[in-house]
Structure 1
Amino acid sequence: MGDPKGKDNVTFECWKYEVQCLLRDRVHSRKVLTQAIRKSVRGEAGQVVMGMGVDPTVEAIVAKLEGMYGVVDTGSALLQQFYNSKQESGETIAAYGCRMEVSIQRVCERGGIARSVLDETLRTVFWKGLWNQRIKDIVRHRYETVRDFDELLRIMRVAEQEVSEQTGMHDGD
């Protein structure tokens, strides 16, 4: 987690994920992990950790920062936001797919949706939120048969590229 004004910012969720992976891997001692965590926080977050004294545990630091920067919306509120998501004008299919995948992961983490229906829900809401009807028309027959979101996203990206080439549109246009 960087200083909000700095260039090395990462979201709290990304920072927390890295810490969780380090804890799970058990490659480094707790002392080394705590030192790395203290060095990884900047700005306001760094001040908060400093205020915890010189020997807080990794779990205490994460819990403190979770309370300040973690997601506070309920799973159902996040699910409603997810259902209302649409592809933005000028947003690539890849960027839209990534945004939707991150969004539904948050919903799942907060108990708003079961993992067993995650992929199908993501696939359906992603499709409904696409704004380019021409691309949807090209891929519609595949949408009906492809059940895997990652595969659908790849197919959609290929169609997006084909449409872009046909219309003479290029990145940045």
Structure 2
Amino acid sequence: MPTTQEKKNANQLGEALARCTLNSSRKLRPFSGSKTPAKDEDVFDTWIELAKGQLDEEENDQEKRKRIREALRPPAANIISDLRRDQQAATSEDYLGALELAFGGTESATELHVLFHSSHQKQGETPSEYLTRLQDILRRLIRKGGVEKEKNDGLLLSQFIKGILYDEMLLVNLQLKEKVSQPPTYLQLLRMVRREEAEQMVKMSHRSVDAPKKEAKTFHQSAGSKEVGEKRKTPTNSRPNFCYKCGLEGHYKGKCPNEPDV
């Protein structure tokens, strides 16, 4: 039987392991900003979106700053070191802003506004792909402070409706124009669009299967009609040696030696 001290040690070990597991799951993915990033690193746009999502769950700004520093590798880590030296009271938002300045896109909020509102569906691009592309631009615009998060859904839906060029029936089927006053979130809209795409794909597959059957049926009907027509055109003579002059068989009218049968 384990002693009281052994039980206490086991409990402490379990708590320590639980804390390690929690801290590990709370770690941000690594980021360096290097031109040749390691395999476990994300590109900046992906990294900062994931980091913002994870940091939103944390209330303590000191803990946020710590988690950001732990995730960074040079040269990104050097950016934060410089910031801390120049601005000792820098917040986690300041950290992310400095990284955005160093590694984010160089477009201004105005330029991203123009890009967003001039983006249309490309030929061969599915509606869901177009929607995802719009959302990527909108995320960058939000990070630049060009639009409030509360207006995100309305802007996205309005531009999606405006920019769809090759799948306009999708707008009708999903009644998206009626949803402008109360727009769905990006994920809700994406789910709706992808379901509609899947339904259209199923219908197209059914049509492609039925088309050869219809063509084969039409071909057989046409061939049968042609055969009947040819049979009708072919003259038939059930009495090939009958003389229509004298009424006897065995010779033709042109060689008949008999008097006409009147």
User: Which TM-score tier does this pair reach, normalised by the shorter chain?
Assistant: 0.5 to 0.7
Q: Distance in 2 between matches of 1:94 and 1:127?
A: 12
Deviates more, 1:74-83 or 1:94-103: 94-103
Secondary structure of the corresponding residue to residue 42 of structure 2: coil
* Aligned counterpart, 2:71: 40
Secondary structure of the corresponding residue to residue 129 of structure 2: helix
Residue 120, structure 1, aligned to residue 154, structure 2: yes
* Aligned counterpart, 1:155: 192
Quote the offset at 1:45 in angstroms: 2.5
> 1:8–1:93: structure 2 CA closer, same or farther, 3 Å change rule?
farther
Q: Equivalent pairs: percent with the same residue?
A: 21
* Aligned counterpart, 1:10: 42
Quote the offset at 1:78 in angstroms: 0.6
Secondary structure of the corresponding residue to residue 146 of structure 2: coil
Residues 99-145 of structure 1: per-residue CA shift (max 9 Å, x gap): 21232233244343455644332112112322433xx2244251232
Contact 1:139 1:159 in 2 (8 A): no
* Match 2:134 to one of 100, 105, 111: 100
**Number of equivalences:** 164
Q: TM-score, normalized by length of structure 2?
A: 0.47
* Aligned counterpart, 1:143: 176
Residue 85, structure 1, aligned to residue 116, structure 2: no
- Equivalent position amino acid for 2:169 in 1: D
> 1:112–1:145: structure 2 CA closer, same or farther, 3 Å change rule?
same
Residue 132, structure 1, aligned to residue 166, structure 2: yes
Quote the offset at 1:152 in angstroms: 4.3
Unaligned regions of 5+ residues in structure 1, if any? none
CA RMSD in angstroms, aligned pairs only:
3.9
Higher normalized contact order (CA 8 Å, seq sep 6+, divided by chain length) = 1
Quote the offset at 1:155 in angstroms: 3.0
Q: TM-score, normalized by length of structure 1?
A: 0.65
Residue 25, structure 1, aligned to residue 62, structure 2: no
* Aligned counterpart, 2:10: none
